[in-house]
Copies of this chain bind each other. A is one copy, B any other.
């Protein structure tokens, strides 16, 4: 068995687990979002703002993926929602079996919206379906406008691209138009949102998108 064979076997097992998860989330009408970005792009901060906006209207929960530390799940639990930290050890991505294993023990089995924050990595998580409704890639303005074309797979697969830390735009040489163009090339039907969790700008539009997607899922769309 070659390296490629093993990788294909791993991905096939993940696909099967993800399909079972997706069916489960469909039956419960739980909207599931898989957030992927570099370390430090502001995924957890975006989720904190999301929870603050939506927790009175919906049953929310979160799964946090990290190599080490419980820090991110603790940040979300502090806001009063169930949040489970999956520690991957050395592994660079979440996989569907890890997610399936924690849903019930973590009290995440009956939610309106499950927010899955992947391990900070723009590359490896791209290949692992977690049964989500859609992937969201987060890119902060401090990372440079060359990133979509440098990491094309995730920008092509993510239905939503959130450009974060917009409050820092005056302080960095970031060409937003170039990012818009690259994202449009890689994902013509995608949605690009510009947010700042610090100022709150754009958080409403992001939460509206989640709310609309949840309504569509409940309607069986």
Select which of B71, B140, B144, B149 is within 8 A of A146 by beta carbon.
B71
* Residues from chain B with Cβ under 8 Å of A2 in the complex: 6
Q: Is A56 an interface residue (CB 8 A)?
A: no
Which single residue of chain B is at the shortest CB-CB distance from A9?
A: B3
A151 close to B (CB within 8 Å): yes
Alpha-carbon gap, A149 to B69, bound state (A): 7
Q: Are A40 and B168 in contact (CB under 8 A)?
A: no
Residue among B1, B90, B140 making CB contact with A6, cutoff 8 Å: B1
Q: How many residues of A contact B (CB 8 A)?
A: 38
Other-chain residue from B68, B127, B142 in contact with A149 (beta carbon distance below 8 A): B68
- What's the least CB distance linking A154 to chain B, in Å? 10
Name the residue in A39, A66, A119, A153 with the highest tally of chain B Cβ atoms < 10 Å from its Cβ.
A39
B40 and A92: CB pair below 8 A?
no
Q: 26 A-B contacts, Cβ less than 8 Å apart?
A: A1-B1, A3-B10, A6-B6, A38-B38, A38-B39, A39-B143, A39-B147, A40-B142, A67-B123, A69-B146, A69-B150, A71-B149, A71-B150, A90-B127, A92-B92, A92-B123, A119-B123, A120-B122, A120-B150, A121-B124, A124-B124, A142-B142, A142-B165, A168-B171, A168-B172, A171-B171
